[in-house]
Amino acid sequence: MGVVWIDSQSENVLHVMTTTAGAGTILSDLAALSNAAPSFQWEGDIVDLSPAPVVATYPSVRVTARLFFTDAATGSIATLYIPAPKPSILLPDGVTVDPSAITTLITDCIGNLVAGSGNTVTMFTGGQLWQQRISGIASLQVFP
């Protein structure tokens, strides 16, 4: 499934998930945990979701909660991102994802989300807040 997320600052990000039985429930879980909103998703047909992102603590899609899952057969990793995550999913350190706050999402991923090996994930191994750095284009000014 491909999902385009929009944040309250009108920035967009594309996330792609590979599953065995469809990612509809995973997308619903992610949307409930994010301040951003899915604006388009496709898994077959492209659907316009009429987004309504929220201005909150982490309003930008450049801030994500990275969730890590593994498959038992090879230890291969699948990374799932919650764009503009709600602060309520973090432990008091403000960085670590609290697994008890995302139990529905974890349940929907186990046995469905596909790791790099091609196997479905069997375990949630942790998560953390991550912010993408913004870098401008540097220009060189030459003086005579």
**Whether pLDDT at 140 is above 60:** no
Residue 140 falls within a domain, yes or no?
Answer: no
| Phi, psi (deg, nearest 5) at residue 134 | -100, 130
pLDDT of residue 144: 42
Q: Distance (Å, rounded) from C-alpha 30 to C-alpha 128?
A: 15
Residue 136 falls within a domain, yes or no?
Answer: no
Sheet order of strands, 12-16 included: 12-16, 2-6, 37-43, 45-48
If phi over 0 gives left and psi between -120 and 50 gives alpha, with beta otherwise, what is residue 73?
Answer: alpha
- Render pLDDT for 51-76 as a digit per residue (tens, 0 to 9): 888 888 888 888 999 999 999 999 99
Residue 138 falls within a domain, yes or no?
Answer: no
**Whether pLDDT at 139 is above 80:** no
Question: How sure is the predictor about 142, in pLDDT bands with cuts at 50, 70 and 90?
Answer: very low
User: Considering the entire predicted model, what is its pTM?
Assistant: 0.76
Total number of domains constituting the chain: 1
Residue 94 falls within a domain, yes or no?
Answer: yes
Residue 24 falls within a domain, yes or no?
Answer: yes
Question: How sure is the predictor about 134, in pLDDT bands with cuts at 50, 70 and 90?
Answer: low
Question: How sure is the predictor about 10, in pLDDT bands with cuts at 50, 70 and 90?
Answer: confident
Residue 142 falls within a domain, yes or no?
Answer: no
Residue 65 falls within a domain, yes or no?
Answer: yes
Residue ranges making up the domain that contains 34: 2-131
Residue 137 falls within a domain, yes or no?
Answer: no
